[in-house]
Amino acid sequence: MSKRKHSAYTIDFKLQILSEAEEKKLTKTEICKKLSIPNSTLSTILKDTEKLQKARDDSKLRRLQMKQNFAVTKDYRMQCLLGFAKRWR
C-alpha cells in the first residue's frame, strides 16, 4: 500500500483559496483544478473560513505589536547610548 504525500498549506494560500471561492466566478471543481488541490481540502478550508480570518487578523496584530516593540527598543537603546556617552565625557 502506497502512502499519500501530506501537504501543509500556508494561511496565505488558504486565504487566496477563500478569495477565489468568494468571487464565485468559478465552481468548486474548477478552483480545485486551477490550484491543484483535492475537493476535500477545499471543503475543509471553506468550512474553516472563520478560523482562517481570525488567524489572519491575529497575525496582523502580532506584526503591528512587533513593529511597536522594535521602535520602543530602538528608542531605549538610543537613550542608553546617549547616557553612556554623557557619563564618559
Grid coordinates given for 13 = 494560500
Residues 22-75 pLDDT 10s: 887 888 888 888 888 888 888 988 888 888 888 777 777 677 667 666 666 666
With cell 472563520, the residue in question is 50
Are 39 and 73 found together in one domain? no
Give how many domains the chain has, as a whole number: 2
The residue to which cell 553612556 is assigned: 84
- Give residue 71's domain range: 57-89
Given this model, what pLDDT does residue 70 score?
A: 65
Q: What is the pLDDT of residue 65?
A: 65
Interacting residues of 79 by C-beta distance below 8 A, sequence separation 6+: none
Q: Residue 8 in contact with residue 53, Cβ under 8 Å?
A: no
Say if pTM beats, i.e. exceeds, 0.85: no
Q: Name which residue leads in pLDDT, 18 or 69.
A: 18
Q: Does residue 39 sit in the same domain as residue 72?
A: no
Q: How confident is the model at residue 11 (pLDDT cuts 50, 70, 90)?
A: confident
What is the model's pLDDT at position 61?
A: 65
Considering the domain boundaries, does residue 52 fall inside one?
A: no
d(CA 28, CA 76): 52
